[in-house]
Amino acid sequence: MDLEKIFLGSVMIKPEVAPDVIGDLELELFSEEIRPVCAALIGLFDATGKLDAVAAVERYPALKVPIVECVESLESECIRPTRENILNWLRMLKENRAVEKFRSIALESCNQALGYDDLQGYYEKMGRALDVEGKTDDFKSAGDLVDDYIRSLGEKPEYIPTGLSKLDRNLHILPGNFILIGGRPSAGKTALSIQLATEMAIRGYRVCYFSLETSTEILSYRMIANRICNPLEDVENKRVPVAELDCLARLRKAPLFFMPASGKSVSWIKAQALRKKSQIVFVDYVQILSCADAKDRYTQITKISIALHELAQSTGMVVFGLAQLNRGAARSDPTVADLKESGQLEQDADAIILLGGTDHPFILAKNKEGEAGIWFNIVFDKEKQRFLEVTP
């Protein structure tokens, strides 16, 4: 079927769906032949706030023939232009265009003159090309923002839960957030990140976990110990009764993916996360990510921090970065100033969780959208690799 014409015909026959798709319409999704119709429909909607074939022909009489062809293409296929179908067709158009972009970039990368550093950039471009969810940034007027707010008054914000109720009441995680989990060695950074990753995946979020220093096998032991509440030592030595593994049924079906990332860069992680259509990304840990063009460690960590923040902002993914603290943080309670090697981490993060304090072992040290500097009665059961809420 002629997908381009059928899609444009459907939005004219089903004008009530227009507001759901008009913001995603881009001329590059269509062939040169049909682009004028797309441009006309965008212009019509901008001018009148509605779409229909009659109004389109009246406003753009020179395009009568292709506009009518679009409507007739839909009718000839005998397909119902339901909202679900229209959104599916839009996604297919985006995917088709993404494939074209990817192939074009792949052909460019075959240039024999390109070196390793050049190809890293092409790798990131390929990942971006496959991101069909991304939206083009544009100006929004104050009036549009107010209208958006009024229209959404009946909608409650959908925050991403961590599974720790005390933390969730204070930390409201939204798409595009960059969150740091900092701590000294053995404070439980990896255990907490795995607990959060599994909890979010079981709730249906697509989660990618990139480990730069721990094998996926060892991570799996920690994940299983956490979920079945058994000692890590028993899990590692395969002393767990089979019957106790039955509770892992939901986890086995969860969209949680682990990948080793030793020596890899943020660009590589971005490409892999886009490939898996991830909604949430964990990086363990940020200070050992690769950054080839940095002159020194301070510059390296600064660039990595900025890149992780940009990854969250540009894709809408939630990015969790694990971070080591300076050796000087061995006092009772760490602070954000103890984040190792660059103050940029503190600046870029939307929220920072610090672990390992003597008096306050679990601290929400930074929280852009809420109260910060508060601690919780959440303790680390190292034997079972699990963080637990306790009653004071």
DSSP string, 66-100: HHHHHHHHHHHHT----HHHHHHHHHHHHHHHHHH
- CB 283 within 8 Å of CB 289: yes
Instruction: Give the pLDDT confidence score for residue 198 in this predicted structure.
Output: 95
Whether residue 50 is predicted with pLDDT greater than 80 in this model: the reply is no
- Quote the mean pLDDT of the chain: 85
Report which secondary-structure segment, H or E, holds 260. strand 256-260
Q: Number of H helices and number of E strands within the chain?
A: 16, 10
- Residue 206 and residue 177: Cα distance in Å, rounded? 15
Q: Name the packing angle between helices 64-77 and 3-13 (round to 10°).
A: 90
- Residue 299 and residue 244: Cα distance in Å, rounded? 48
Kindly report, residue by residue over 197-207, the tens digit of the pLDDT: 999 999 999 99
- Residue 378 and residue 164: Cα distance in Å, rounded? 8
Kindly report, residue by residue over 209-222, the tens digit of the pLDDT: 999 988 999 999 99
Q: In CATH, which superfamily holds the domain spanning 3-129?
A: DNAb Helicase; Chain A (1.10.860.10)
Instruction: Give the pLDDT confidence score for residue 249 in this predicted structure.
Output: 86
Lowest mean pLDDT, pick from 212-216, 344-348, 386-390: 344-348
Instruction: Give the pLDDT confidence score for residue 241 in this predicted structure.
Output: 84
- CB 207 within 8 Å of CB 231: no
pTM: 0.67
Report which secondary-structure segment, H or E, holds 246. none
At 257, list the tokens.
Answer: 């993916």
Question: What are the residue ranges spanned by the domains of the chain?
Answer: 3-129, 165-389
Buried b (16+ CB within 10 A) or exposed e, 221-238: bbbbbbbbebbbebbeee
Kindly report, residue by residue over 251-303, the tens digit of the pLDDT: 888 999 999 988 888 888 887 888 788 999 999 888 888 877 777 888 888 88
Provide, rounded to the nearest whole percent, the portion of the chain with pLDDT above 90: 29
Lowest mean pLDDT, pick from 42-46, 138-142, 261-265, 349-353: 138-142
pLDDT confidence tier of residue 157, bands split at 50, 70 and 90: confident
- CATH entry, 165-389, from 1.10.10.10, 3.30.9.10, 3.50.50.60, 3.40.50.300: 3.40.50.300
Whether residue 332 is predicted with pLDDT greater than 80 in this model: the reply is no
